[in-house]
Amino acid sequence: MQLAAQENPLFQVEVESRREAFVGFSLCGTDYLAPLASVPEIIRIPENFVPVPGVKKWMAGLANVRGALLPLVDFQQFLCQQSVHLSSAARVLVIDHADLRTGLIVPMAHGLIYLDSMEQLTGEGESIRAEERDWKLLDMEWLVTNQDFRQAVT
């Protein structure tokens, strides 16, 4: 005797609510969230990155990361004109969005933050309350289309 699909325990899987994943990080005294889909990895600051002459102050240099050159941007310098102190807590968020792959140096990464829904918006701009913090959403589209960001040459 065969069981119908709805009676068969193999098909009785509880569906969880869809959770969205973000990478949390801090800079300029503010906590930010970036969509995980745009940040494929978080790495330590490469020891051997090389400064590039003739570029804007926020362009930290280039690093060889697993055989590929990765431009490194001091993201705090770009957003609020304060250089990141390259401490042991500093990290590089490797972003891969649209046609842009680069590393954003941030003073601290908080790891993955999961939101049950975007209904956690507080109504204050793009603030979201999660993990006992107020987060601002990083608009990746704005970043990768920002002409200042795309023109690192002085």
Q: Is the pLDDT confidence value at 134 over 70?
A: yes
Range of the structural domain that residue 82 is part of: 18-149
Provide the domain count of the chain.
1
Identify the CA nearest to 153 among candidates 77, 74, 48, 52. Answer: 52
Whether 141 maps to a domain, the answer reads yes
Query: Does residue 53 form part of some domain?
Result: yes
Domain assignment present for 10: no
> What are the tens digits of pLDDT across the range 73-98?
999 999 999 998 889 999 999 998 87
Considering the domain boundaries, does residue 92 fall inside one?
A: yes
pLDDT band at 117 (very low <50, low <70, confident <90, very high): low
Q: Domain with 108 in it: what CATH number? A: 2.40.50.180
Burial level of 144, CB count in 10 A (0-12/13-18/19+)? middle
The reply to whether 154 falls in a domain is no
Please indicate, yes or no, if residue 2 is contained in any of the structural domains. no
Q: Is residue 88 part of a domain?
A: yes
Distance CA 3, CA 24 (A): 46
- Answer yes or no: is 112 within a domain: yes
pLDDT of 125 reads 56
pLDDT for 5:
46
